[in-house]
Amino acid sequence: MPTPDISEQRCDRDTALTMLARTPLGELMDRAHAARMRRWPGNTVTFVCDTNPNYTNVCVTGCRFCAFCRRPTDPDAYTLTPEQVSEKVAAAAQRGATTVLLQGGHNPKIRLADWLAYIRAIRSACPEIHIHPFSPAEYAFMAASEKRPVREILEAVFAEGVDTIPGGGAEILTERVRRRIAPHKATTAQWLEVCETAHEIGFRTTATMMFGHVESDADIVDHLLALRDLQDRTGGFTSFIAWSFKPEGSELGREVGRAAHPARYVRIVALARLVLDNFAHIQSSWFSESIPAGQLGLLAGADDFGGVLMEENVLLEAGHDRTATVEDVKTIIRRAGFTPARRDSYYRVVETF
């Protein structure tokens, strides 16, 4: 379990709210960067080469923020076969991907046997690639579809040699917000239960947050504290990743109207480093935000720069198109004053540049 940063008193809820709402951004960034340097002395910033093919865009959950999902009867709805997914992964691996982040919609026609078939097809085509599939929300949906405990679904995937889970579907971990943006998705308690059970089995998972829509400062802080409490019990989270809501093309976007300011993103990265004192890694994403925001996040407590994605569709459907090569990302990290290093999905450094 990661050791908390005890050089400062642990942030309580009131302190976190004050930092989020009133502490000058420069001061907050300085404090977070100092905490990062205590945890990770030196100048290294990591990134990973990955791909994110979606095995289906069919989803019956109907989250109000999503521009990607399609109803089963929509003309552009699709479900890929295991062979089609493995072909996509093989093509990305040839271009340098070392991890496949495999996710899809909540499609009632996809069952556990299909999940296992995707895993086996990818492993057969690309035995060297790390398979990082299925978010906690997908696990909760699959358990309901199969009418089996979520532990059994997790154990079946773990038995295939998969031992990491991407932390998608968290959005904001308060029911006030979830009822407004994703009323039919896994609840806060269910999302946390999947992660806790996964950690008990032996999975390592990431944790995420999607902000910039209908949440309050209190919702953001309560989300972070829920993650910290679970990490205290299990130590199974590898990293925290935040991104801003992309309003284009969604029902919620028409209500919210505009994207969050990049300064809000940097503030949340800094707050995460200070509140999540038991998380080893905080990510600043050039991909989900912008290059300048991602670079500022590296000065606000983050030690990881996310992925060089070979394929991504969810943000693309929301009008957020970002592309960069490994060389681009190395240059971006260097220009922020850091030394780039490629990592694996366990956050182990593979190569320093």
Give 61-80 pLDDT, tens digit per residue.
999 999 888 999 999 999 99
Judged against a pLDDT cut of 60, whether residue 317 lies above it is answered with no
Residue 67 has a pLDDT of 84
Out of 8-12, 296-300, 321-325, the most confident range is 296-300
Tell me the average pLDDT across 185-204. 98
Closest CA to 324 of 288, 289, 287: 287
Reported as a pLDDT band with limits 50, 70 and 90, residue 344 is very high
Residue 312 has a pLDDT of 44
Judged against a pLDDT cut of 60, whether residue 319 lies above it is answered with no
CA angle at residue 89 from 83 to 94, to 5 degrees? 125
Residue 313 has a pLDDT of 45
Residue 50 has a pLDDT of 92
What is 13-352's CATH topology?
Answer: TIM Barrel (3.20.20)
The larger pLDDT score, comparing residue 155 to residue 96, is at 155
Tell me the average pLDDT across 211-219. 97
Tell me the average pLDDT across 131-152. 98
Tell me the average pLDDT across 199-210. 98
Exposed e or buried b for every residue in 182-216, given b needs 16+ CB within 10 A? beebbbbebbbbbbbbbbeeebbbbbbbbbbbbbe
Residue 6 has a pLDDT of 46
The larger pLDDT score, comparing residue 6 to residue 232, is at 232
Q: What percent of the chain has pLDDT above 70?
A: 94
Tell me the average pLDDT across 132-152. 98
The larger pLDDT score, comparing residue 112 to residue 3, is at 112
Judged against a pLDDT cut of 60, whether residue 31 lies above it is answered with yes
Q: What is the mean pLDDT of the chain?
A: 93
Judged against a pLDDT cut of 60, whether residue 216 lies above it is answered with yes
Judged against a pLDDT cut of 50, whether residue 318 lies above it is answered with no
Q: What percent of the chain has pLDDT above 90?
A: 84
Residue 316 has a pLDDT of 44
Lowest mean pLDDT across 143-157, 215-229, 252-266, 307-321: 307-321
Judged against a pLDDT cut of 90, whether residue 240 lies above it is answered with yes
Judged against a pLDDT cut of 70, whether residue 278 lies above it is answered with yes
Tell me the average pLDDT across 13-39. 98
Lowest mean pLDDT across 110-114, 131-135, 276-280, 321-325: 321-325
Residue 5 has a pLDDT of 52
